[in-house]
Every structure is written in structure tokens, then in C-alpha cells.
Amino acid sequence: MSLQQFAFYTFAVYFVAYTIARLDGPFDVMVWVRGKFDPSQRTWIGRGLNCPICLSFWIGAVIGLLIGATWLEWLAVCGVIIPINKWVMR
């Protein structure tokens, strides 16, 4: 995987994870999804749907399988997303 592909993979995963965890989405679709699974956030699924880092782990796995990334590239993307999220959330 080239550096450009790695950067694209990383930002694509982060965009999807951030959209699900933090944004309302068109017609409040993401609010509905988060509310349907666990509105009070008492389970790990409810808490995970509100965490871009947690979501990026699973979304990165799915996208990685689709594009044929190795498990090491998948873990590297998950690791790079942590400082990106800290920078965005400051």
C-alpha cells in the first residue's frame, strides 16, 4: 500500500466513524441509529456508537477487508486515527 492509499484509507475510515459518532446526518439518520441501539448508552454498543475511535476500529476492519489491506495496515490506520481524533476534538 502506498502512502497516498494509506492516507486515503485513514481519512475515509475516520470520516465514516466521525459521521456516525458525532454528526446528525441528513434527516437525522445518525441520531436515529444511535438512539435505536442504545439511547441511554448503558451497553458497550451504545457507548461505542458515540466514540469515533471505537468505530474506526470496526469500520477500518470492514473497509480493510473490502480493499484487501493486511491486518498490520488495518491496525496502523486505527493507530493513526487516535491523534487525528485528538486534534479534531481540541
Q: Where are the domains of the chain?
A: 3-89
pLDDT tens-place values along the chain, 90 residues long: 899 999 999 999 999 999 988 898 889 888 888 888 877 778 888 888 888 898 999 999 999 999 988 999 999 999 999 999 999 888
| pLDDT given for residue 43 in this prediction | 81
| Number of separate helices (H) and strands (E) present in the chain | 5, 0
| pLDDT given for residue 44 in this prediction | 82
CA 10 – CA 42 distance, rounded (Å): 29
| pLDDT given for residue 34 in this prediction | 82
pTM value? 0.83
| pLDDT given for residue 5 in this prediction | 93
